């Protein structure tokens, strides 16, 4: 392309416009071409799709016989084929990196420490501890026992004891969803321990009541506390 | 104009225009689930019928799964609404978000929202992503999300309180 000096501004603008249009076109084609559904193809493009082969009436018998032969050959080959060894590839990789069990347990332990270090609000602590201790007695059909409840100023730690780790593994979801008259978030982790260790296990259910405290800590009337079926 | 300058100008403008044209607008996704996605999560006898609690005196705990798909993962949800029929004049229908940890025997649940103890009728409410300690775990897409629900007992006249369904959107 030759550009004379006298027409430079117009030619430069033309150059920019052409290049913008070219770039836009290239990106649009690259970005969308591959995922375009068949329904959106033009008639010309659609005509390029492979057509299903349909036999003519004259060739019907020959065509059906050849299909039958191919089917029989496939069936025979399949029967003679030795069974492939079954190998478990394991779970496919997932895009989000989950925290490990060790990390989760460490986070939980850290939150228990933070709870223990929290300043004490004596009045709130007394009321909330009493409420939660009573509510965790509504645990019919389970094997856990609320050994202790410790509330500070916005958090509580409820120590639940199960007769064995297996029973804790079977019932921790139920403990997590325990209805209480204090509307608090809660978190639980059943700690790892060597399989050689048996006997009772203590599990800490942490309760974060910060939203409830901000709302003035309204305790649900006792008659409205859900009573669960065993 | 120098040919190198022209070439650079052409390439730059092409790239910029291309990026503007190909940039996809952000998309909104939503999902709705009927009561039948929920399961009874506790109790020795099966009592969850047609979305309702058939027990005359006890509350049911339900688990209503939140299905993560690429276009609507649970951390991306800004709306989680729960819809109910509350026919019990004493107890409320209550719901809360939970996640079960990917790698551990454990999980966490958030603050509850409810239909109101003394009120009855059909309605819906937003299920909060609070407190902050819960939101931290909810926002990790690896964990498995669900809604916990307390469904109150049926009335003396046999009318059940029920889950209608739930709605999620980003």
Distance separating alpha carbons of residues A26 and B67, to the nearest angstrom:
37
Interface contact flag, B111 A185, Cβ < 8 Å? yes
| Cβ contacts of A15 on chain B, cutoff 8 Å | 6, 9-10
| Cβ contacts of B42 on chain A, cutoff 8 Å | 141, 174, 177, 228-229
Rg (Cα) of chain B, in Å, rounded?
23
Interface contact flag, B112 A183, Cβ < 8 Å? yes
pLDDT of residue A29: 53
pLDDT of residue B122: 97
Q: Residues 151-180, chain A: which have Cβ within 8 Å of B?
A: 168-169, 172-174, 176-177, 179
- pLDDT (average), residues A158-167: 97
pLDDT band at A37 (very low <50, low <70, confident <90, very high): very low
Among B105, B108, B133, the residue with its CB nearest the CB of A190 is B105
Inform me whether the pLDDT recorded for B113 exceeds 50. yes
CB B113 within 8 A of CB B125: yes
- What 3-state DSSP class applies to A3? coil
pLDDT band at B125 (very low <50, low <70, confident <90, very high): very high
| Cβ contacts of A16 on chain B, cutoff 8 Å | 9, 13
| Cβ contacts of B45 on chain A, cutoff 8 Å | 229
**DSSP code of residue A96:** S
Interface contact flag, B45 A229, Cβ < 8 Å? yes
Interface contact flag, B18 A187, Cβ < 8 Å? no
Q: Say yes or no: B71 contacts chain A, CB-CB below 8 A.
A: no
| Cβ contacts of B117 on chain A, cutoff 8 Å | 220-221, 224
Distance separating alpha carbons of residues B48 and B88, to the nearest angstrom:
16
Distance separating alpha carbons of residues B161 and B151, to the nearest angstrom:
7
pLDDT of residue A13: 65
- pLDDT (average), residues A195-219: 96
Which of B5, B11, B17 should one mutate to test binding to chain A, selecting the residue with the greatest count of A CBs within 10 A?
A: B17
- Domain ranges within chain A, ordered by starting residue: 101-216
- pLDDT (average), residues A199-206: 97
Distance separating alpha carbons of residues B69 and B100, to the nearest angstrom:
17
Helix axes B3-22, A8-32, angle to 10 degrees: 40
The residue among A11 and B105 whose pLDDT is bigger is B105
User: What does B115-159 look like in DSSP terms, one character per residue?
Assistant: S-SS--EEEEEEPP--SHHHHHHHT-TTSEEEEEEEEPPPPTT-P
Nearest to B131 by CA among A225, A182, A222, A133: A182
A184 CA: distance to closest CA in chain B (Å): 5
The residue among B15 and A199 whose pLDDT is bigger is A199
Tell me how far the alpha carbon of residue A141 is from its chain's centroid: 30
Interface contact flag, A189 B21, Cβ < 8 Å? no
Distance separating alpha carbons of residues A53 and A61, to the nearest angstrom:
15
Q: Checking phi first, is residue B121 left (phi over 0); if not, alpha (psi -120 to 50) or beta?
A: left
pLDDT band at A94 (very low <50, low <70, confident <90, very high): confident
Inform me whether the pLDDT recorded for A2 exceeds 50. no
Length in residues, chain A: 230
pLDDT band at A139 (very low <50, low <70, confident <90, very high): confident
Distance separating alpha carbons of residues A71 and A52, to the nearest angstrom:
19
Where does A48-177 have alpha helices with state H?
60-80, 101-117, 122-135, 165-176
Which of B105, B125, B134 should one mutate to test binding to chain A, selecting the residue with the greatest count of A CBs within 10 A?
A: B105
pLDDT of residue B168: 98
Would you state the structure tokens that stand for residue B36, as one six-digit string? 């039948």
Residue whose token pair is 């209608």? B164
pLDDT, mean over chain B: 90
- What 3-state DSSP class applies to A197? coil
CB B150 within 8 A of CB B85: no
- pLDDT (average), residues B17-37: 76
Interface contacts A/B by beta carbons within 8 Å: 174
The residue among B9 and A80 whose pLDDT is bigger is A80
Q: Say yes or no: B128 contacts chain A, CB-CB below 8 A.
A: yes
Residue whose token pair is 């060790």? A102
Distance separating alpha carbons of residues B116 and B92, to the nearest angstrom:
5
What is the set of domains in chain B, with CATH numbers?
29-169 (2.60.120)
The residues with which A162 forms a beta bridge, in sequence order, are A201
- pLDDT (average), residues A126-143: 93
pLDDT of residue A10: 61
Tell me how far the alpha carbon of residue A222 is from its chain's centroid: 35
pLDDT of residue A25: 57
pLDDT band at A19 (very low <50, low <70, confident <90, very high): low
ipTM of this complex? 0.84
Q: Residues 40-79, chain A: which have Cβ within 8 Å of B?
A: none
| Cβ contacts of A118 on chain B, cutoff 8 Å | none
Would you state the structure tokens that stand for residue B1, as one six-digit string? 């104009």
Distance separating alpha carbons of residues B89 and A44, to the nearest angstrom:
67
- pLDDT (average), residues A86-103: 81
Tens digits of residue pLDDT in A107-119: 999 999 999 999 9
Distance separating alpha carbons of residues A202 and A190, to the nearest angstrom:
8
pLDDT band at B58 (very low <50, low <70, confident <90, very high): very high
pLDDT band at A27 (very low <50, low <70, confident <90, very high): low
Distance separating alpha carbons of residues B139 and A206, to the nearest angstrom:
19
pLDDT band at A101 (very low <50, low <70, confident <90, very high): very high
pLDDT of residue B74: 97
- Tally the C-alpha atoms within 13 A of residue A196's C-alpha that lie toward its C-beta: 0
Where does chain A have alpha helices with state H?
8-32, 43-46, 60-80, 101-117, 122-135, 165-176, 210-214
The residue among B21 and B49 whose pLDDT is bigger is B49
CB A188 within 8 A of CB A93: no
Inform me whether the pLDDT recorded for A121 exceeds 70. yes
Q: Say yes or no: B129 contacts chain A, CB-CB below 8 A.
A: no
């Amino acid at each position: 392309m030759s550009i004379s000096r006298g027409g430079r501004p117009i030619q430069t603008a033309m150059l920019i416009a052409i290049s913008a249009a070219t770039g836009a076109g290239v990106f649009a084609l690259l970005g969308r071409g591959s995922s375009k559904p068949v329904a959106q193809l033009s008639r010309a493009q659609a005509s390029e799709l492979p057509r299903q082969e349909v036999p003519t009436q004259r060739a019907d018998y020959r065509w059906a016989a050849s299909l039958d032969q191919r089917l029989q050959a496939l069936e025979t080959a399949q029967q003679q084929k030795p069974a492939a060894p079954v190998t478990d590839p394991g779970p496919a990789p997932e895009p989000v990196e989950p925290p490990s069990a060790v990390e989760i347990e460490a986070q939980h332990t850290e939150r228990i420490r933070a709870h223990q270090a929290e300043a004490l609000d004596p009045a709130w602590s007394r009321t909330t501890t009493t409420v939660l201790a009573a509510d965790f007695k509504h645990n019919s059909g389970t094997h856990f026992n609320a050994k202790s409840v410790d509330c500070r100023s916005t958090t509580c730690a409820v120590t639940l004891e199960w007769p064995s780790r297996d029973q804790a593994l079977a019932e921790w979801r139920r403990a997590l969803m325990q209805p209480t008259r204090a509307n608090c978030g809660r978190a639980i982790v059943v700690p790892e321990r060597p399989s050689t260790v048996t006997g009772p296990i203590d599990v800490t259910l942490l309760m974060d009541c910060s939203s409830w405290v901000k709302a003035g800590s309204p305790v649900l009337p006792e008659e409205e506390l859900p009573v669960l079926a065993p | 104009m120098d040919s190198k300058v022209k070439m650079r100008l052409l390439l730059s403008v092409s790239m910029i225009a291309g990026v503007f044209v190909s940039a996809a607008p952000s998309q909104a996704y939503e999902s709705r689930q009927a009561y039948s996605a929920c399961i009874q999560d506790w109790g020795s006898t099966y009592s969850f019928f047609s979305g309702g609690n058939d027990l005359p005196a006890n509350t049911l705990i339900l688990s209503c799964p939140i299905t993560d798909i690429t276009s609507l993962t649970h951390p991306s949800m800004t709306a989680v609404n729960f819809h109910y029929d509350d026919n019990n004049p004493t107890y409320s229908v209550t719901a809360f978000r939970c996640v079960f940890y990917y790698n551990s025997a454990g999980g966490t649940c958030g603050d509850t929202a409810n239909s109101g103890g003394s009120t009855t009728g059909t309605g819906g409410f937003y299920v909060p992503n609070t407190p902050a300690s819960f939101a931290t775990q909810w926002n990790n897409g690896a964990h498995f999300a669900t809604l916990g629900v307390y469904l109150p007992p049926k009335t003396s006249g046999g009318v059940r309180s029920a889950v209608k369904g739930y709605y999620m959107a980003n």
